Amino acid sequence: MFFLTLDLKNHDYIQENYDIYDLIINRKALKKMNITTLGEFILEKQADFPGSSGELSRILSAIRLAAKIVNQQINKAGLAKHILGAAGSENIQGEQQQKLDVFADEQFIKAMEARGVVCGIASEENDDFVAFESKNPLAKYVVMIDPLDGSSNIDVNVSVGTIFSVYRRKSPIGTEVELEDFLQPGTEQVAAGYVVYGSSTMLVYTTGNGVNGFTYDPGIGVFFLSHPNMQIPKDGRIYSMNEGNIHSSPEGVKKYISYCQENDAATQRPYSGRYIGSLVSDFHRNMIKGGIYIYPATSSAPNGKLRLLYECNPFAFLAEQAGGVATDGNKRIMEIQPTELHQRVPFIVGSKNMVEKALSFGNLR
């Protein structure tokens, strides 16, 4: 039995008892209340494409499932490390404790493989892509994933995230996937999204028709549509960069950051500096409030730090779908032809007018 407390009028909580079966058969009631679950939303969108095979829907469902499992583990990370695992490296069941990024990687890969809907997956955690001897030899999609971005933040109880994107394979269906299936420019993405494990857990994704965000209710294990048709404000007052790198950043970045810090009442400067150091959280905040995120080339990371395939392309797709801009300083991120799986690029993403202003200083990379 699950206890769901939904206010039928305000979407606030009131005392109502549902079990999961009630929740399923009461879809019509939820619709009347204007409440949509992620599962319903995926199916509704699939119905917009008559004749669709449903594979993409099943990929999104697999991501949803793995995200719930990862979310549950992240929420008890402090317990596992400091309390349950205090006696040694084993947890209370006597199992070896795993690093959460390895755990997350396994969950997403398992969920994809089990559903037989993708023919391969490339993960930031692994040197090479994994080819599935698929249960479905006709599987036509590949997935790129950063299973737990910013995982060093877990030790200090700061939000982390999962980032994913989906492409159609290039090599013939029925054959084993090849590197070229993964080395596609971001313009070829079919879907992209992220999960932010924060003060609430949210899943935000696009399939190229806008961006929608869903908030997780842990009490009943369901994501609800909470942020329909997300748009990044065209202007913002937040800049987000690891300023410890400023002296080794390109001249254009130095000038733009100085511009952000100047006093100017007309443009409401200085802007606020906000850097969580957890890309998913920094991006998510800027999506909602408006802002710019910059990770430039630096002396210690001459091509930037962030990975084109697992981090920059999915966020570029989401940003553009929400009215924002993503560039490496010279070129639209999504038009870069990848040459290797773990390729890094300088990354500037966010509110359209802010990114364009940054570009106007030139020499950003």
Q: How many Cα neighbours within 13 Å face the side chain of 213? A: 20
Among 46, 159, 278, 327, binds ligand AHM (CB under 6 A): 278
Q: Which is nearer to ligand AHM, 124 or 217 (CB)?
A: 124
| Distance in angstroms (rounded) separating the CA atoms of residues 42 and 46 | 6
Which residues, listed in sequence order, are joined to residue 195 by a DSSP beta bridge?
162, 203
Q: Which is nearer to ligand AHM, 40 or 243 (CB)?
A: 243
| Distance in angstroms (rounded) separating the CA atoms of residues 31 and 229 | 18
| Binding of Mg ion by 146 (CB under 5 A) | yes
Among 55, 105, 149, 181, binds Mg ion (CB under 5 A): 149
Asked if 344 and 338 count as a contact pair (C-beta separation under 8 A), the reply is no
Shortest Cβ 125–Mg ion spacing (Å):
9
| Binding of ligand AHM by 290 (CB under 6 A) | no
Q: Per-residue x/- marks for ligand AHM, 120-139, CB under 6 A?
A: ----x---------------
Shortest Cβ 64–ligand AHM spacing (Å):
22
134 binds, among Mg ion, ligand AHM, none (CB under 5 to 8 A by kind): none
| Distance in angstroms (rounded) separating the CA atoms of residues 56 and 227 | 21
| Distance in angstroms (rounded) separating the CA atoms of residues 109 and 104 | 9
Q: Which is nearer to ligand AHM, 58 or 305 (CB)?
A: 305
Asked if 173 and 183 count as a contact pair (C-beta separation under 8 A), the reply is no
Strands 211-217 and 160-168: unpaired
Among 91, 98, 171, 242, binds ligand AHM (CB under 6 A): 242
277 binds, among ligand AHM, Mg ion, none (CB under 5 to 8 A by kind): ligand AHM
Give the range of 27-35, 229-237, 272-280, 349-357 binding ligand AHM by CB under 6 A.
272-280
Give the range of 17-25, 78-86, 148-156, 330-338 binding Mg ion by CB under 5 A.
148-156
Rounding to the nearest 10 degrees, give the CA dihedral for residues 272, 277, 278, 283: 30
| Distance in angstroms (rounded) separating the CA atoms of residues 149 and 3 | 32
| Distance in angstroms (rounded) separating the CA atoms of residues 25 and 19 | 10
| Distance in angstroms (rounded) separating the CA atoms of residues 116 and 65 | 14
Q: Helices marked H in 248-342 — which ranges?
A: 251-261, 279-289, 313-321
Give the range of 109-117, 182-190, 275-283, 349-357 binding ligand AHM by CB under 6 A.
275-283
Q: Per-residue x/- marks for ligand AHM, 73-112, CB under 6 A?
A: ----------------------------------------
In which order are the strands placed within the sheet that holds 130-131? Answer: 130-131, 118-123, 141-149, 160-168, 189-197, 201-206, 211-217, 222-227
Dig out the tokens for 304 from the structure: 């930037």
142 binds, among Mg ion, ligand AHM, none (CB under 5 to 8 A by kind): none
| Binding of ligand AHM by 302 (CB under 6 A) | no
Q: How many residues does the chain have?
A: 365
| Binding of ligand AHM by 277 (CB under 6 A) | yes
| Binding of ligand AHM by 327 (CB under 6 A) | no
| Distance in angstroms (rounded) separating the CA atoms of residues 296 and 346 | 5
Q: Per-residue x/- marks for ligand AHM, 167-186, CB under 6 A?
A: --------------------
Among 58, 284, 305, 365, binds ligand AHM (CB under 6 A): 305
Shortest Cβ 72–ligand AHM spacing (Å):
20
Q: Which is nearer to Mg ion, 149 or 181 (CB)?
A: 149
Among 277, 313, 309, 308, smallest CA distance to 293 is for 277
> Which residues contribute to the site for ligand AHM (CB under 6 A)?
124, 146, 149-151, 242, 277-279, 305
Residue ranges that bind Mg ion, judged by CB under 5 A: 146, 149
